[in-house]
Amino acid sequence: MTKKTLEECHLIEANRHLDEARKRIAELSAQYERRSPAAGQREDAQRLLHILTECMQTMNKHRALIEREVVAQRPSNEEAGGS
């Protein structure tokens, strides 16, 4: 088993956070659909879901940056003795 780099650990954590965010947004969306809130509450719920979705998009961008760093730090096949 190889030791994970700090960036690989961050990538694992970012993946976990994104999975949790997706689940929370799905749960909130399902609750919203089931409850049919009053007009004012409906707008608030829609605004909250929009904000959470925007946050998740930012989290995805951050995750992509971490992933690029992980890939950049991996030795190429030539350096690793591959073909």
Burial label for 11, CB within 10 Å (0-12, 13-18, 19+), is buried
Q: Is residue 82 part of a domain?
A: no
Confidence at residue 78, expressed as pLDDT on a 0 to 100 scale: 44
Q: Is residue 13 part of a domain?
A: yes
- Digit-by-digit pLDDT tens for the chain (83 residues) are 578 899 999 999 999 999 999 999 999 899 888 877 677 787 888 899 999 999 999 999 999 999 999 999 988 754 555 54
Q: Is residue 77 part of a domain?
A: no
Q: Is residue 78 part of a domain?
A: no
Q: Is residue 62 part of a domain?
A: yes
Q: Is residue 80 part of a domain?
A: no
pTM of the entire predicted model: 0.75
Q: Is residue 81 part of a domain?
A: no
Q: Is residue 34 part of a domain?
A: yes
CA distances from 30 to 10, 18, 73 (A): 30, 18, 41
Domain containing 10 equals 6-72
Number of independent structural domains in the chain: 1
